[in-house]
Amino acid sequence: MLTNQHTIKKSVSYSGVGLHTGNKTKITFKPAPIDNGIVFKRVDIPDSPQVLADVDHVLDISRGTTIGIGDVKIHTVEHVLAAISGLEIDNIFCEVDGNEPPVGDGSALPFVEILLKAGLEEQHAAKDILNIDKTIAYSDPEKGIDIVVFPSDEFRITFMVDYKNPALGTQYTSMYSLHEEFATEFAAARTFCFLHEVEELWKAGLIKGGALDNAVVIIDREMDDAELTELRKLFGIGEKVTLSPNGILNGKELRYPNEPVRHKALDLIGDLALLGVPLKAHVIAARSGHQANAELVKLIRKEYKKKLIKSKFKAAQTKGVFLDSEAITKILPHRYPFLLVDRIVDLVPQEYVIGIKNVTMNEPFFQGHFPGKPIMPGVLILEAMAQVGGVLLLNEEMDPEKKLVMFTGINNVRFRKPVVPGDTLRFEVEMGSLRRSICKMYGRAFVEDDLVCEAELMAAMLEKE
């Protein structure tokens, strides 16, 4: 894997028709600066609006990957993304004169060839590589989809599909080195579909640019001559259409014996580019498609954001600790004797946080609450819960030290059991809603497995004066 960031040396273009729209279109690749990422531009629209290629901008994944912002959309970007990611290009502008890149021959090869023609240029900045250090899994039992991501010293893919069709059956492929194998062993694998899907897709307003030279059509049902003639008319095919013995429409030869599963791996590489950072892991997938790939990227992205937070606040790499006490003081303004969070053990941005407060006899409030019967005041349990929630709110701020999180309301408070010296409080706070600077959170406090307090918290983020 290349260790420094890369872009391309010069601008290059590729023209054709869009797979689903059938519109004439052109994509122009241009060099981009360090840390730019993969950015698409709709140059056919005034002001050429830009869309960063990441999972937050995915709008649709039903028959391909569509990204966009509002009404600005770019359809079927997965093959372009696969070519860029497969060649380990980090920073690039993709200017599309239309709402969809050209389909080419249905593979990533045309984009790979044009990008190699432009040449790759090393940039003077290290890649931000996400090293997976724990197993991440996505599963959809109803569709029989399983994807598991394991730690690995290099990016690898293992993919398996099993279709109830003699022309395909069960297929398997592995890629052990993106750098050495992608361009020669995977980029040329073409998209495929089943014969019964063709008419359905056309009636749904899709594959208007589809043709026998940009897709492999698998025969999965019999068609008489009248139906084949209708198929020719439907797609404006001049050549004769035949149901060939090899199970592929018109007897088209495969580029690889297992070309369909290699194309599924290619799609996966393109969808993983939506993570926004190169991945060092072994991805094992069974029967996955764009929707499952996008869900997997969301799971991996959570881990990436967590690593960014730990790096940002220079948290100690201690097992079982996400943010230590020193990192917490970089986020919260509270100090002794009112800092009531000792460590954060887990945090998923904008979702939930888990924090710990060790309750000792040395707490100053035990002197008067109560002499001879020390019990932690309920209001301080709530305060500690709110501080844990404050970490969830403030961790994504560029300058958290310039912000304050203040209570605006507390509802449905319940105290279940007293908290005494020697207890370890575990706070689990979930984000309910976040609108501008106003947040609603749901918090629970536990001592071991016993629920001791729960509440709904409302808070506002304010600028320090």
108 close to 187: Cβ distance less than 8 angstroms: yes
Looking at the structure, tell me whether residues 143 and 87 fall in a common domain. yes
Any catalytic annotation for residue 6?
A: no
Per-residue pLDDT in tens (0 to 9) along the chain, 465 residues: 678 999 999 999 999 988 767 788 999 999 999 999 999 999 999 999 999 999 999 999 877 899 999 999 999 999 999 999 999 999 999 999 999 999 999 999 999 999 999 999 999 999 999 999 999 999 999 999 999 999 999 999 999 999 777 767 899 999 999 999 999 999 999 988 777 777 666 666 665 566 666 778 787 777 777 777 776 666 656 666 666 677 777 767 899 999 999 999 999 999 999 999 999 999 999 999 999 999 999 999 999 999 889 888 988 878 889 999 999 999 999 999 999 999 999 999 989 999 999 999 999 999 999 999 999 999 999 999 999 999 999 987 878 888 888 889 999 999 999 999 999 999 999 999 888 778 999 999 999 999 999 999 999 988 887
Instruction: Tell me the two tokens of residue 394.
Output: 């403030």
Q: Number of structural domains, the chain?
A: 2
From 275, 309, 343, the end of a domain falls on 309
Of the candidates 194, 236, 190, 234, the one whose C-alpha atom is nearest the C-alpha of residue 214 is 190
Distance, C-alpha 287 to centroid of its chain: 18
Looking at residue 93, the DSSP 8-state letter turns out to be E
Looking at the structure, tell me whether residues 31 and 109 fall in a common domain. yes
Other residues' Cβ atoms within 10 Å of the Cβ of residue 221: 10
Looking at the structure, tell me whether residues 293 and 414 fall in a common domain. no
Buried/exposed code over 180-195 (b: 16+ C-beta within 10 A; e: otherwise) = ebbbeebbbbbbbbbb
Is residue 160, in this structure, part of any structural domain at all? yes
Looking at the structure, tell me whether residues 280 and 338 fall in a common domain. no
Is residue 54, in this structure, part of any structural domain at all? yes
The residue type of 417 is K
Looking at the structure, tell me whether residues 49 and 166 fall in a common domain. yes
From 272, 290, 309, the end of a domain falls on 309
Residues 6 or more apart whose Cβ sits within 8 Å of residue 1? 88, 127, 129, 154, 155, 178, 179, 278, 280
Other residues' Cβ atoms within 10 Å of the Cβ of residue 446: 19
CATH label of the domain that carries residue 114 = 3.30.230.20
Of the candidates 150, 184, 152, 145, the one whose C-alpha atom is nearest the C-alpha of residue 262 is 184
Looking at residue 144, the DSSP 8-state letter turns out to be T
Sign of CA dihedral 414, 416, 417, 420: negative
Looking at residue 221, the DSSP 8-state letter turns out to be S
Looking at the structure, tell me whether residues 389 and 427 fall in a common domain. yes
Looking at the structure, tell me whether residues 329 and 428 fall in a common domain. yes
Looking at the structure, tell me whether residues 151 and 81 fall in a common domain. yes
CATH label of the domain that carries residue 354 = 3.10.129.10
The phi and psi torsions of 213 (rounded to 5 degrees) equal: -100, 5
Looking at the structure, tell me whether residues 9 and 137 fall in a common domain. yes
Looking at the structure, tell me whether residues 288 and 359 fall in a common domain. no
Residue pointed to by tokens 């600790």 = 321
Give the total residue count for the chain. Answer: 465
Looking at the structure, tell me whether residues 55 and 131 fall in a common domain. yes
Is residue 63, in this structure, part of any structural domain at all? yes
Looking at the structure, tell me whether residues 264 and 350 fall in a common domain. no
Is residue 236, in this structure, part of any structural domain at all? no
Which range marks the domain in which residue 363 is found?
313-463
Is residue 110, in this structure, part of any structural domain at all? yes
From 277, 309, 341, the end of a domain falls on 309
Is residue 11, in this structure, part of any structural domain at all? yes
75, 79, 282, 290: the active-site residue: 290
The torsion defined by the Cα of 55, 57, 60 and 61, in degrees rounded to 10, comes to: -20
Exposed / middle / buried, residue 372 (Cβ in 10 Å: 0-12, 13-18, 19+): exposed
Is residue 224, in this structure, part of any structural domain at all? no
The residue type of 415 is F
Distance, in Å, from the CA atom of 274 to the CA atom of 295, rounded to the nearest integer, reads: 11
Is residue 107, in this structure, part of any structural domain at all? yes
330 close to 400: Cβ distance less than 8 angstroms: yes
Any catalytic annotation for residue 369?
A: yes
